[in-house]
Amino acid sequence: MSKALVTGGAGFIGSNVVSLLASEGYDVTVLDNLTTGYQKNLDGLTHVRLIRGDVRDAESMADVMGGVEVVFHLAAAVGNTRSIARPIEDAEINAIGTLQLLEAARRAGVRKIVCSSSSAIFGELKSLPIREEHPAEPDSPYGVSKLAEEKYCLAYARLYEMEVICLRYFNAYGLNQRYDAYGNVIPIFARRMLRGEPLTVFGNGEQTRDFVNVHDLAHVNLLAERARGLSGAYNIGSGEYVTINSLIEMMSEASGIVPVVEYVPPRKGDVRHSRADISKARETLGYEPRVGITAGLVEYMAWARAEAI
């Protein structure tokens, strides 16, 4: 039974990765400080133990690394808007926390790290779809810290005997994604719709996003772990895009709720358009998105209603 460590494993994406790993027979240790994670996300999973700790703490990292073969690094401060409000905390968690993890993994002889990165590293886009080679000119502290995280990870892969794969997620959504005022647009819209509150759209709503379901993200983490002799960075999205206006229509159809929409000026740090080129992940990792956004939103809105997010 392979022993895996999942940082941030009680959170949104992390808990879905843990669930898949447990179903595949891995022995999983979760490290999470439960700031944005929830212990209930792990309820009922076998061969999973939760340790409350922080990636910024060297002692905690050393304690959980013994015997670990693969690390799935998902602990992070997430979001452009949050990072603008709290840039120091963002850097401490994403950059320094990752460095603490890498040092502990190196000393413990971990063979593989799968790191969760973000399309925020690219900043305002110069071409679509976005290939891995697109210039990285982040527009927010979050994008800067995730780019630093990637660079640290890939430097360690070159310097030491470990493989590192960085997965650059585009707009993730799905089960266990709870409301966060700084978070993704889908849970924000879902919460307001379920409460009968108006939706706020920054700009005219014709900006585009590549939404990728968390089931697909969990699966590509497993594919990355099973790839041997490979290090590098990969764009992970659906390969498709929708406008925010279209998203509202789809969420309305998925929930049966017709919301009031209010349009306000655009926000600083938000990109206008986004769409991933996933050909590298498809060809190298065998990644293929399985969950279309229509089906994904039906599943998510039912979960959000049951959870009263």
CA-to-CA distance for 200 and 258, rounded, in angstroms? 14
Other beta carbons within 10 Å of 4: 27
Catalytic residue among 26, 142, 179, 241: 142
Exposed, middle or buried, 65 (CB in 10 Å: 0-12/13-18/19+)? buried
Residues 6+ apart with CB under 8 A from 96: 56
Annotate 230-272 with DSSP letters as a single string. --EEEEES-S--EEHHHHHHHHHHHHT----EEEEPPPTT--S
CA-to-CA distance for 87 and 109, rounded, in angstroms? 32
Straight-line distance from the first to the last Cα atom of the chain, in angstroms, rounded to the nearest whole number:
36
142 included as an active-site residue:
yes
CA-to-CA distance for 66 and 29, rounded, in angstroms? 11
Residues known to be catalytic: 142
